[in-house]
Chain A
Amino acid sequence: MTGEQLLQGLWAILPEIVLLLLGILVITIDLIKPGQRKGRTFGALTIGGALVTTLIIIYQAINQPPEPVLAFAGMVRIDLFVQMFRLMFSVALLLAALISLDVKGVKTNGEFYGLLIFSTVGMGFMAASNNIVMLYVGLETTSIALYMLAGFIRESTVSTEAGMKYFLFGAFTSTILLYGLSLLFGFTGGKTGYAEIAATLQQLAAQQETLPLMVALVLIAVGFGFKVAAVPFHMWTPDVYEGSPTPITAFISVASKAAGFAVFIRFFLIVFGPLQEQWIGFVALLAAVTMTLGNLVAMQQRNFKRMLAYSSIAQAGYLLIGVTAVGELGTAAVLFYLATYVLTNIAAFAVAEIATNATGSELIKDMAGLSRRAPGIAFALLAAMLSLAGVPPLAGFFGKFYVFQAAIGYTNPTGQNSLVWLAILGVLNSIVALYYYLMVLKVTYVDRAEGEDVPLTTSGGFKLALATTVAGMIFFGIFATPLYTLSTLAAQAVR
């Protein structure tokens, strides 16, 4: 490796390097000043660092060369697709740190912010990976940090349970993924780079030898399915979402899901591209089951965080429709959907934390009277719920619109469209989902509660996070074009 190549490589992974240094800085400060009250130092550092990283990514994305940058012997591939995911991760980190500032048990803890930052580094590696070894290392870095974070409040039994469950399910599916990857490694005669594997699969597909490959494909889909919380690999979701500290729930539900989709798309479109005809039906089925089950079970939830967990499973189903509609349109739709979903879900979980703090209960019925106690917070909840449901003029509407449009516009190699049924099912599902999202709004806006005249005070971190996300939801709901253009450009870069 020449010096110039090394510099180019380091520049390509600069966002991850900055985050890594930030994480080490936070942990070190925590170490050298033991036992003292450090207040919001760590939170402020994390927010500042995430902001700097976001700016670096934007700068890099603007100056992105048209050809993808392959760095470190082809282990890492940086293109606009990766940059867009990195942007989502760093924004999610920023917002998660903002809503952690006033959460009991985590707010002044250096290790909490350190692990949060390290898991973002892992996500960056996942999205940028161009090699199955790199993919696995990135995935594990992300997951291990998140296991710790889910069980971070050790005094709380639900948090400990969440951490343990997440860890056991995660470790198990990660071995399944590893098994799939090793089979792929064997079937292709020792290839590890995405492009080389794809080339070998092309030859094998031409010889009709796809059955053993399908075994590897299914095992790998299990690993990715766990990450994005798709049915039937969703069992961990409700308990982990309910038990984890709320900022972590928000972070897992948006950033970890986005990272899962980043590898899902890259792997299935590029590496398994030659087997497209075989897997489309399989992933379409996964999408159909995921959104239907997620929505049906979400309707029966009484706990707000559990309801959001099932809602996030359903959202994964809609996103999988976009993956199924292979091609630019589908990928662009997924990217747009994910970007708006980051804002929406973080807002929803921030409101969940505020309501829980105020009433000491996570039940939906105890959110009654929120609109009179804190009109601003209730409005943020209104925006988040309507955006999740896909009501215009909020960003979630365009997300769903583009995904369904991609499914309807999809044509398979023989020129037929086999995905209209999926789009119809998706629309039916959104109608079902409307019921439980509106139920929450009914409770907060219509139902009366005792003590509803007591105004609710919220701290600055929550207010800033909610203001940002609501502004984003409304802005992208009205001016969807810039974000959609970016998504299209990023989708074109996948190939």
Chain B
Amino acid sequence: MLNLEIIIFGALALITVVAAVMMIIARNAVHSALFLVVVMSSLAVFFLGLWAPFIAMVQVALYAGAIMVLFLFVIMLLGAERAGARLLLAWQAPLAIGLTVLVVLLGALLLLNTAPFEVVDLPAAEITEGTAEAIGQALYSVWLFPFEAVSILLLVAMIGAVVMTRQETRQEARDERKKKSL
């Protein structure tokens, strides 16, 4: 049973990392967005493996679904799917890959050289912990205040989005023209 879990985890982890790397290096923005969908979906499976069905569903419905559709819309509307013909900073990609490999190797070395980590068997999470009911309970008791504070955050973001995209009203445009002609 444990082996099967490890095999599934390994395969998924590989898919996720490869898709994430492809998302960054893809030259077509639509391809990037589609690779991001792969990353999001495999994350959803990870959540399922951690006994968190609610988060897994939210991950699929919100991130892989709604948000990615918006991404694709914006990319296609702006016609931004094709990046420029030539790479402006061609040296960046190899450098980034090299540095990443270096950091991963250093991390692995450090981990191997420090005191051996104890493998602790955590008590298996109760299946009830990740349900919508349990999350609702938690949100409205212990996490009530941050939950409410997030609504302020979203309000601010909403007002900000309106401010940033507002059109000049006709009156303002007329005033502007009058000022210029004076």
Interface residues of A (CB under 8 A from B): 1, 9, 20, 27, 34-35, 71-73, 75-76, 111, 114-115, 118-119, 121-122, 125, 131, 133-134, 137-138, 140-141, 144-145, 147-148, 151-152, 154, 208-209, 211
Contact = CB atoms under 8 A, between A and B. Distances in A.
B73 interface: no
A104 to B, nearest CB: 12
Listed residue (B115, B143, B149, B171) with the most chain A CB atoms within 10 angstroms of its CB: B149
Contact of A144 (B142, B143, B145, B157): B157
Nearest to B172: A35
Interface of B is mostly: helix
B156 A118 contact: yes
B61 interface: no
B141 interface: yes
Given A137-B153, A141-B149, A141-B153, A73 B164 contact: no
Nearest to A137: B149
Interface in B120-148: 141-146
19 contacts: A9-B145, A73-B143, A73-B144, A75-B146, A118-B156, A121-B152, A122-B156, A125-B149, A133-B146, A134-B146, A137-B153, A138-B149, A140-B153, A141-B149, A145-B156, A148-B164, A154-B164, A211-B110, A211-B114
Listed residue (A34, A75, A76, A152) with the most chain B CB atoms within 10 angstroms of its CB: A75
A134 B145 contact: yes
Contact of A118 (B114, B152, B164): B152
Given A35-B171, A72-B144, A76-B145, A114 B115 contact: no
A115 B160 contact: yes
Contacts of B152: 20, 118, 121-122, 141
Contacts of A118: 152, 155-156, 159
B6 interface: no
A479 B49 CA distance: 63
Contact of B145 (A27, A73, A119): A73
Given A73-B141, A73-B144, A209 B115 contact: yes
A490 B174 CA distance: 54
Given A141-B153, A144-B157, 12 more contacts: A9-B145, A72-B145, A75-B145, A118-B152, A134-B145, A137-B149, A144-B153, A145-B156, A147-B160, A148-B159, A151-B164, A208-B115
A471 B32 CA distance: 57
A208 B115 CA distance: 9
Contacts of B108: none
B163 interface: yes
A151 B73 CA distance: 25
A115 B114 contact: no
A118 to B, nearest CB: 5
Contact of B141 (A1, A76, A133): A1
B3 interface: no
Contacts of B156: 115, 118-119, 122, 141, 144-145, 148
Contacts of B146: 75, 131, 133-134, 137
B150 interface: yes
Listed residue (B114, B155, B171) with the most chain A CB atoms within 10 angstroms of its CB: B155
A35 B169 contact: yes
Nearest to A189: B122
Nearest to B140: A1
A34 to B, nearest CB: 8
A34 B171 CA distance: 11
Nearest to B155: A118
A121 B163 CA distance: 19
B163 A148 contact: yes
Nearest to B143: A133
A151 B143 CA distance: 33
A114 B157 CA distance: 12
B76 to A, nearest CB: 23
A152 to B, nearest CB: 7
Contacts of B157: 144
Listed residue (B142, B143, B153, B157) with the most chain A CB atoms within 10 angstroms of its CB: B153
A151 B165 CA distance: 12
A433 B114 CA distance: 45
- Which 4 A-B residue pairings sit nearest by Cβ, starting from the closest? A72-B145, A148-B160, A75-B145, A141-B153
Listed residue (A20, A114, A140, A141) with the most chain B CB atoms within 10 angstroms of its CB: A141
Nearest to B113: A211
Nearest to B149: A137
Given A75-B146, A131-B146, A115 B163 contact: yes
Contacts of B155: 118
